[in-house]
Structure 1
Amino acid sequence: MTPRSSRLRPLTACVPGSKSITTRALLLAAAANGTSTLWAPLISHDTLTFKKAVGSLGARVENSPGDQFWDVTGTGRGPAGTARVWCADAGTAARFLPPFSAAGVGTFTFDGSEQLRARPLSPLLKAMTELGADVETAVPGRLPLTVHARGLQGGELRVDSSMSSQFLSGLLMAAPLMRHPVRADLRGSVSRPYLDMTLSLMRRFGADVEEPESGVIEVRPGGYQPTALVVEPDASTASYVFAAAAATGHRVTVPGLCGSSIQGDLRFVEALREMGAKVEITDCAVTVTGTGSLRGGFDLEMGDISDTFMTLAAVAPLADAPLTIRGVRHARFKESDRIAAVAQNLRACGIRVDETEDSVTVRPGRPRAARIACRRDHRIAMAFSVLGLAARVPLTLDDPHCVTKTFPGFHREMARLFPDYTVPERR
C-alpha cells in the first residue's frame, strides 16, 4: 500500500448524525415539558422507527423541509393511554421505550422483527419489575411484551449490563419520571462511554443527575425541560471512512466531530494511530491520513467501543503482523453474533482468524474474492466494504441494502470519496 500524491488531496466526508444521540434525544424530548429542536438528526431506518414510536406514545414530532431539524413537543411526563409500538429492527426502541412507558399510565405493547425478537431483554424486564413495573411477555425475556403502566417507584436500580449498556441507559432516562430518587451502580457495565453519553444528554435536558462516588449515579425526580440540540456526526459510522483512509493512503476529514465529542467511539481513531495512521483532532473536525502501511503485532481492548471493532478487524489482514481485539464478548448479542460474523467472513476471504468467546485475532494475508454474509447487520456490510476497497478485491455483499439501518447513503458516499469503490449489487 503505497500512497500516491493524488491520494493525499484532502477529502471531506459527509457522515450523517449520530444514531445514539438522535434516539436518546428523541426520547428525552418526548418526555420534556415543551418543544425541543433537534438539528441534523440521523435520517435512517432505525431513527425513523424510533421517531414514529415516540409519536405513538404521545409526543408530537414535526419535520422541517428536508429534515434539517425536528421539533419535538413532549408530554412532560410518561405516556398515557393505549398504544401498540412497532420497533422493527431497532434495538434502542425495544430497550429505551418500555421503561419510559412504564413511567406513565396505560397499556403499551411493543413488538419487532424476527431479528429483534431474538435479542434478549431479560435483564431489562427484571429491573423494570423490581422498580414496580407490570410487564407481560409471551416468551420470557423476548418481544413481544406488554407494559401495564401505573408509574415507577424508583429506588435502587439493579440491572445486569454485561450484555448491553442500553438496558441501563433506558432505565436511567426514565428515572427523572419516577416517584422517588434512583441510585444506580455503573461499575461492571459494558460500554461505559455510552452510559456517559446518556447522562450527558439527560443533564442537557435538565435532569438532576449526580455522581456522588465514582461509578455510582443518583437521579432525582423532576422530569425534563425542552432544549435545542445539534446532533454530532456519528463516530461509529465515521470509523468506515477513517479506516478506508488509513488503509488506502487517503486523507479524509469529518467535520463536526471534535475532541469534546460525547461519543466514545471517536476513540477508534486512536486505534488507527497505533496501526500507523496520522490522526488530527481539532475543535471542529477529525482527520485521518494513511501513511502507506498498517502495523500489527499488538492487542487492543475495544470493549468500550465495540461497535467499531468490526471495522478494525476488517482491515487487520492488511497489517504487517497479527492483531488481537479483546473485550468484545457483548458484541455477540447485537444485530448478529458479530465475533462469529467477522471470523466467518474473513475466513471466506482466505484470512486466518482465531476466535475466543470475547476476542478475535486476525493474521495478515491477501484477501481473495468472496461472498460476504452480512447477517442483516449493517456494521458487517460496511466493515467488509472497506476491506474490499482497501484490498482491491471483489467482495459481494449478500445484503448491501442493510446499511439503511444507520447510513442509507453509505455506498454512494464511499464511491464519491474513493474512486476505486464499486457500489455493490445484491446477488
Structure 2
Amino acid sequence: MTESSAHSDPTTYDLWPAPYASGAVDATVTVPGSKSVTNRGLVLAALAAEPGWLRRPLRSRDTLLMAEALRTLGVKIEEGVGPDGTGEAWRIIPAGLRGPATVDVGNAGTVMRFLPPVAALADGPVHFDGDARSHERPLHGVIDALRVLGARIDDDGRGALPMTVHGGGALDGGPVEIDASSSSQFVSALLLSAPRFNQGVEVRHVGAKLPSLPHIRMTVDMLRVVGAQVDEPETGGEPNVWRVSPSALLGRDLVVEPDLSNAQPFLAAALVTGGRVTVPDWPARTTQPGDALREIFTEMGGSCELTDAGLTFTGTGRIHGIDVDLSEVGELTPGIAAVAALADSPSTLRGVAHLRLHETDRLAALTKEINELGGDVTETEDGLHIRPRPLHGGVFHTYHDHRMATAGAIIGLAVEGVEIENVATTAKTLPDFPRMWTEMLGV
C-alpha cells in the first residue's frame, strides 16, 4: 500500500456500522448524475463559443472541484434551475481563460488531467496542486504530450503534481504520441481541448492495451454533440489514433445521465439479498462503463429488465463466481470483488493492473481488507483471484477511496459486524450514500 493508506493517515475517522440485510431488498433507488459526464460537460461548455446548460449535474466533491477550477480561470457557472424553470441545472458562460490562477484538484483524476490542456489555452500561469495522493497519481502522459504540442510546464521533472502550466493564450497542437496504458484519461484530456488548438490534435497511443475504452468513447460522443469533428478507431479510423479538427464548439443544453457505476452497490444489493432494485432513467444506449453491470451481474446469478421506468435488477439468492476481463470497466472491480467474495465458487478478475494507480492501489486494498474479514483473495499480475470463504465482521478500511467504501457496504449486507472506516469518502462521487443505503434497506 502507498503512504496514503488508512493505517498511515493520522486522521481518526468514525466507523460506520454497515447495515446487515435481514431479508430481500425491494426498492427503487434514484442515482445522481454521472461524474464522468458532468466533468466532461463542464470542460466542453467552458471552451464553447457561446453559453450552454448542464441539466441534472452531479454535485459531489469531484464535480464541485471542477466547477471551482473553471471559475478560477474566468468561466462563469451559475447554479439554479433549467431554462424551462424545472430541475437543477448549471448555466455555463465561457470567457477568456486567464491566469494567474491556482487549481485545487483534490484527488480527482478528471480535474488533474482534463484541466492542464485548458490551462495551456489561458493567458497566464496556472498552478495545480491537490491532496497528498494526487502527487502519486501518474500525470506524465498529459505533461509530456502538452510539451510536444507547444505548452510550457514546470513540474521539476516529476511527471506529477504539483506543477505550473504557463498558458500562452493558444496552443499549436498537431500530432503527438503518448502511452496511455496507465489511464485512458490521458487521451480524453487532449481530445477535450483539441478543437481549440490551432492545428487540432492527432493522438496516437503507443504502449500496452488501453484501459477503460468506454470513457474515451464517451469523450468522443460528447465532442461530437458540441460540434467537433473527430476521427476515431471505432468509426473506421486507424487503430489507437484519434484526430480532432480545430473548430468552434457550440453551447448545448445537455442532460446528464444517472451515474451507472454509482448504481453498482444498489444492484449488488439485489444480487446479494435475492431481492429487487429499480434504478430509474437507466439509458437504453450509453457509453458509460457501468452499463456492463447488466451482463456481469446477470452472469453472477441475477436477471435484469430494462423498461421505460428504468432498469430493474433481481437476484435469486445465489451468487456465482465469474472469470471476467474488466480492462474496459476497471472502476467496477471493487464492487464485483465484494460480490465475488460472497459467491458459491471462485472468481478471477483480469485486465485491471492499472487499478494500482487509482485513488489508492485498489488491488492491494481489496486483497487486504477482504482477507482481514476472513476471505481468500490473492493478487495476480493484472487482477485478483477470489476464493469464497465464510466471512466475519471487522473494520473495512477505505484508503480515501469511494469505491472501497461501497464495496465494504456490499459485504456488510451479508456479514454482520462490518464497520466502514471513513464512509464519508463516498461524497467524492456519491453524496448521501449512507442515507441512500439505509433507505434502500428500509432502516
Q: Could you tell me whether the CA contact under 8 Å between 1:260 and 1:283 is conserved in 2?
A: no
* Match of residue 11 from structure 2: none
Q: Within the alignment, does 1:147 sit opposite 2:171 as a pair?
A: no
Structure 1 residues 193 and 284, CA, compared in 2 at 3 Å: closer, same or farther? farther
Rounded Cα–Cα distance in structure 2 between residues aligned with 1:350 and 1:256: 38
Rounded Cα–Cα distance in structure 2 between residues aligned with 1:241 and 1:74: 37
Alignment root-mean-square deviation, CA: 1.8
Q: 2:154 aligns with which of 136, 143, 148?
A: 136
* Match of residue 33 from structure 1: 49
Q: Within the alignment, does 1:73 sit opposite 2:93 as a pair?
A: yes
Structure 1 residues 178 and 402, CA, compared in 2 at 3 Å: closer, same or farther? same
Rounded Cα–Cα distance in structure 2 between residues aligned with 1:278 and 1:315: 15
Identity of aligned residues (%): 38
Listed one character per residue, the Cα deviations across residues 267-300 of structure 1 (whole Å, up to 9, x for unaligned) are: 022110111101112355212101120112x410
Structure 1 runs not aligned, ≥5 long? 421-427
* Match of residue 226 from structure 2: 205
Rounded Cα–Cα distance in structure 2 between residues aligned with 1:54 and 1:283: 36
Rounded Cα–Cα distance in structure 2 between residues aligned with 1:408 and 1:349: 27
Q: 2:418 aligns with which of 381, 385, 395?
A: 395
Q: Within the alignment, does 1:348 sit opposite 2:372 as a pair?
A: yes
Structure 2 runs not aligned, ≥5 long? 1-20
Question: How far 1:265 moved relative to its partner?
Answer: 2.0
Instruction: Show the 5 A alignment for 1:92-107.
Output: 92-107=110-125
User: Letter of the aligned partner of 1:113 in structure 2?
Assistant: D
Q: TM-score, normalised by structure 1?
A: 0.92
Q: Within the alignment, does 1:417 sit opposite 2:440 as a pair?
A: yes
Rounded Cα–Cα distance in structure 1 between residues aligned with 2:244 and 2:307: 33
Rounded Cα–Cα distance in structure 1 between residues aligned with 2:127 and 2:190: 18
* Match of residue 191 from structure 1: 212
Rounded Cα–Cα distance in structure 2 between residues aligned with 1:47 and 1:205: 20
Single out whichever of 92-101 and 144-153 deviates more from structure 2.
144-153
SS at match of 2:100: strand
Q: TM-score, normalised by structure 2?
A: 0.89
Q: Within the alignment, does 1:232 sit opposite 2:257 as a pair?
A: yes
Rounded Cα–Cα distance in structure 2 between residues aligned with 1:360 and 1:24: 31
Structure 1 residues 199 and 283, CA, compared in 2 at 3 Å: closer, same or farther? farther
Listed one character per residue, the Cα deviations across residues 41-93 of structure 1 (whole Å, up to 9, x for unaligned) are: 00111111111001111110001069811001113x7x233211111222211
Single out whichever of 408-417 and 187-196 deviates more from structure 2.
187-196
Rounded Cα–Cα distance in structure 2 between residues aligned with 1:173 and 1:50: 14
Question: How far 1:144 moved relative to its partner?
Answer: 1.1
Number of residues paired by the alignment? 411
Q: Within the alignment, does 1:177 sit opposite 2:200 as a pair?
A: no
Q: Could you tell me whether the CA contact under 8 Å between 2:72 and 2:101 is conserved in 1?
A: yes
Rounded Cα–Cα distance in structure 2 between residues aligned with 1:147 and 1:284: 46
Q: Within the alignment, does 1:156 sit opposite 2:171 as a pair?
A: no
Listed one character per residue, the Cα deviations across residues 79-124 of structure 1 (whole Å, up to 9, x for unaligned) are: 2332111112222111000011113332111111111122121121
Rounded Cα–Cα distance in structure 1 between residues aligned with 2:60 and 2:200: 35
Q: Within the alignment, does 1:220 sit opposite 2:245 as a pair?
A: yes
Question: How far 1:401 moved relative to its partner?
Answer: 0.8
Q: 1:260 aligns with which of 279, 285, 301?
A: 285
* Match of residue 167 from structure 1: 186
Rounded Cα–Cα distance in structure 2 between residues aligned with 1:305 and 1:260: 16
Rounded Cα–Cα distance in structure 2 between residues aligned with 1:402 and 1:189: 28
Which stretches of structure 1, 4 residues or more, deviate above 4 A after TM superposition? none
SS at match of 1:48: helix
Higher relative contact order (CA 8 A, sep 6+): 2
Rounded Cα–Cα distance in structure 2 between residues aligned with 1:220 and 1:284: 39
Structure 1 residues 412 and 8, CA, compared in 2 at 3 Å: closer, same or farther? closer
Q: 1:288 aligns with which of 309, 313, 335?
A: 313
Rounded Cα–Cα distance in structure 2 between residues aligned with 1:287 and 1:343: 31
Q: 1:372 aligns with which of 396, 404, 414?
A: 396
Rounded Cα–Cα distance in structure 2 between residues aligned with 1:217 and 1:284: 36
User: Letter of the aligned partner of 1:149 in structure 2?
Assistant: G
Q: 2:382 aligns with which of 326, 340, 358?
A: 358
Rounded Cα–Cα distance in structure 2 between residues aligned with 1:284 and 1:144: 46
SS at match of 1:148: strand
Q: Could you tell me whether the CA contact under 8 Å between 2:344 and 2:388 is conserved in 1?
A: yes
Q: Within the alignment, does 1:117 sit opposite 2:135 as a pair?
A: yes
Rounded Cα–Cα distance in structure 2 between residues aligned with 1:214 and 1:247: 43
Rounded Cα–Cα distance in structure 2 between residues aligned with 1:405 and 1:254: 20
Question: How far 1:339 moved relative to its partner?
Answer: 0.4
Structure 1 residues 63 and 220, CA, compared in 2 at 3 Å: closer, same or farther? same
Q: Could you tell me whether the CA contact under 8 Å between 2:128 and 2:162 is conserved in 1?
A: yes
